[in-house]
Amino acid sequence: MAACTFTSTYPTVCQVCLPEEWSPEESEQCLSRTILQLDWDNPLSIALLFFLASCVLMTSSSAIILLLNLSTPVAKSAGGRTCLLMLAALTAAAMSSLCHFGRPSPLACILKQPLFIFSFTVCLACITVHCAPGRLHF
């Protein structure tokens, strides 16, 4: 819905702002929107991407080690396939942060929160199943 401003000459007539503009409440003018974005080459972005790569590398290497030793008693006591699902969900939750970099796009805005919420919920569900008494083994 476009913002509506009221002109002082015609107080009952609403002047609609352009899509790239906005209007404060009870204002008589349209203001340009400013887009705040986290550029890929920003030093903070580089540090965050380095941290993201480290997290993905740690979860992926843990998943590979667990997958190679899935039949051992240690891997079974860690949760086995449930632990693999949890590591995959953690990786997806970390990857959802990529939607915050660069110019905002409609797809990134739609995906970033549901992707994180879904994957983090799966991770918490795996922890709950693993810690529950009389837990299920998959």
Q: Are residues 28 and 48 in the same domain?
A: no
Say if 137 falls within a structural domain.
no
Per-residue model confidence (pLDDT) at position 7 = 55
Structural domain including 121 reads: 43-131
Q: Are residues 100 and 57 in the same domain?
A: yes
Q: Are residues 30 and 94 in the same domain?
A: no
Q: Provide the domain count of the chain.
A: 2
Say if 136 falls within a structural domain.
no
Per-residue model confidence (pLDDT) at position 61 = 94
Residue 131: phi, psi to the nearest 5? -90, -10
- Which residue carries 């030093």 as its tokens? 43
Structure tokens at 123: 């991770």
CA distance 101 to 25: 30
Residue-wise pLDDT tens for the chain (138 aa)?
455 665 555 666 677 788 888 888 777 788 888 877 888 888 999 999 999 999 999 999 999 999 999 899 988 888 888 889 999 999 999 888 888 888 888 888 888 889 999 999 998 998 888 776 665 555
Say if 81 falls within a structural domain.
yes
